[in-house]
Amino acid sequence: MFTESCSHEFIPSNKSQSRAPCPALNALANHGYISRDGKDLTIPELVGALQRVYNISFTLAFLLSFVAVLYCGHGLRVDLGDLCKHNKIEHNASLAHDDCPEGKEFASNAPSRKLLQSLVGYATCGHGLGLNDFARARVDRESRLKTPLDEIHSQIATGESALTWLVMKDQRGEVPINLVKEWYGEERIPHGWVPPAKPIGLFSAHGVASMIAKEMK
């Protein structure tokens, strides 16, 4: 069960710090598992934190970190805010962030209270979000787009939902509402959350993402 230590106490970000449109990375920065300013992050720093906190396998953690640096970084480093570059890794139809305004280069990194409220509204019997609930939420968000997501960003979007489910699900196979609100809304590692017992690998993440995509159809 996750409990805050003095060295990893939750401290909300301020305007001088760099943050991404990703609750997982922002929570790592807000708890000091990566640099709290969110700047000049290296691949080893990101990989180590993803493994340590979320129990993501080395291979998957390296792939995610390498892609972030490759597409949005400078040299061999990346600022979290660079991940807001529209249509690089970031995309419209996020479950918790507003779409990028037309003509803008960067999307917002601030969670949308309205979208978060809509997301938890899909929770099964008011308890938590299962795979089918994530699929329904994705269909709803994508149906509101003027221009559909391309294949790559569609896969990224289902992958994000898959990782959320794999990292945060409870024994019932649901992501509890309070965890959704804390992780997505407050960008903190939720109280009482228990990390996955087994490392989350590339194949399991891909398999769950495929299941969500199938449910969406």
What tens digit of pLDDT does each residue of 143-195 get?
A: 999 999 999 999 999 999 999 999 999 999 999 999 999 999 999 999 989 99
- What pLDDT does 1 receive? 59
DSSP letter (8 states) at residue 126: T
Tokens for 39, please give them: 């700047």
| pTM across the whole model | 0.95
Residue 83, CA distances (Å) to 64, 67, 132 in order:
12, 10, 28
Residue in 187, 163, 210, 191 with CA at minimum distance from that of residue 21: 187
Domains, the chain, ordered by start:
19-216 (1.10.489.10)
Q: Does position 4 have pLDDT exceeding 70, yes or no?
A: no
Give the tens place of pLDDT for each residue, 39-78: 999 999 999 999 999 999 999 999 999 999 999 999 999 9
C-alpha span between 67 and 69 (Å, rounded): 5
pLDDT average, residue stretch 106-122? 96
- Per-residue pLDDT of 124-137, as tens digits, reads 777 899 999 999 99
Structure token digits, residue 96 = 């918790």
CA-based radius of gyration for the chain: 16
| pLDDT score for 5 | 67
The whole-angstrom separation of Cα 127 and Cα 139 is 21
Residue 52, amino acid: R
Predicted confidence (pLDDT) at residue 208 exceeds the cutoff of 90:
yes
Separation in Å, CA 92 to CA 4, 125, 159: 33, 28, 14
The pLDDT value recorded for residue 128 is: 94
Q: Is the pLDDT of residue 9 over 90?
A: yes
Mapping DSSP to helix (H, G, I), strand (E, B) and coil, where does residue 30 land? helix
Place of tokens 């401290």: 11
**Mean residue pLDDT across the chain:** 95
Q: What is the mean pLDDT of residues 104-116?
A: 97
Q: Count Cβ atoms within 10 A of the Cβ of residue 167 and give its class: 0-12 exposed, 13-18 middle, 19 or more buried.
A: buried
pLDDT of residue 3: 63
Question: Per the structure block, which two tokens stand in for 152?
Answer: 């790559």
Beta partners for 106?
Answer: 85
Cβ count within 10 A of residue 116: 18
